[in-house]
Amino acid sequence: MHLPDGLLSAPVCLGGYGLTGLATWYSLRQIQRDPDVSRNMPKASLLTAAFFVASSIHIPVPPTSVHLVLNGLLGTVLGYYAFPAILIGLLFQAVILGHGGMTVLGVNAVMMGVPALVAYHVFQLRRVWPWGSDRPRLGVFAFLAGALGLGLAALIFFALVMTNIPAAMDAQAERTAIYGLTLAHVPLMLIEGGFTAMLVLFLHQVKPDLLGHHGTP
């Protein structure tokens, strides 16, 4: 899921940094409206660490393998804290693990962070959904948010890679590989959606305040 250095042109990388700057500014602005930032910071730090570790957990999906992303989970649980958390996690992944790179850090942050914010807003729709009891509705919207976060990131990845295949490579072979890699993320969407739903339902039972305010909705 991480885009590597050298794949994208300089204007695309600069555009990624520009969008990341705007998204970070907007997220921090919303976080400033949180009346209890100190309570939410440890939760954000813990999930940033989980996001960092997730990239090392590979799941075989023949003929390739994919790794957990958890951006939908971060968006669901952290709200606007998710974007800076993902940005920090990606920075450490690039520096320590070699996943991604510094030139594409902005693009990777947009690719994973913006879908996380979308996932947060999808999860908030449970508040206005008129049908179903509270707990099933919570699980359904958590599943949708977790799956959608990864699904949107995979679509952005697909669009970026398909439109930036280097001229020196066999374009047809690369397209076939990209199609296969993107489709391999479909079962991972179900896994991440299910994991997000289970975690949200668990938190709702033992510590429901952890699913509370994350800045302005």
pLDDT score at 132: 64
Nearest to 69 by CA among 88, 42, 96, 90: 90
- Specify whether the CB–CB gap between 211 and 203 falls below 8 A: yes
| Token pair belonging to 27 | 């997220």
Helix (H, G, I), strand (E, B) or coil at 62: coil
pLDDT score at 216: 44
What are the helix (H) ranges across 32-133? 37-54, 71-78, 82-92, 105-124
DSSP letter at 215 equals S
| Token pair belonging to 140 | 């359904």
Q: Which residues of the chain are under the pLDDT cut of 70?
A: 58-65, 130, 132, 166-171, 212-217
Structural domains present in the chain: 10-211 (1.10.1760.20)
Cα–Cα–Cα angle for 181, 64, 161, rounded to 5 degrees: 25
Report how far apart, in Å, the C-alpha atoms of 53 and of each of 45, 59, 71 are.
13, 14, 12
Phi (first) and psi of residue 43, to 5 degrees: -65, -40
Query: What is the C-alpha end-to-end distance of the chain, expressed in Å?
Result: 28
pLDDT score at 126: 87
In terms of C-beta density within 10 A (0-12 exposed, 13-18 middle, 19 or more buried), how is residue 188 classed? buried
Helix (H, G, I), strand (E, B) or coil at 58: strand
- Specify whether the CB–CB gap between 120 and 196 falls below 8 A: no
Read off the pLDDT of residues 176-203 as tens digits, 9 standing for 90 and up. 777 877 787 888 899 999 999 999 999 8
pLDDT score at 76: 94
pLDDT score at 110: 97
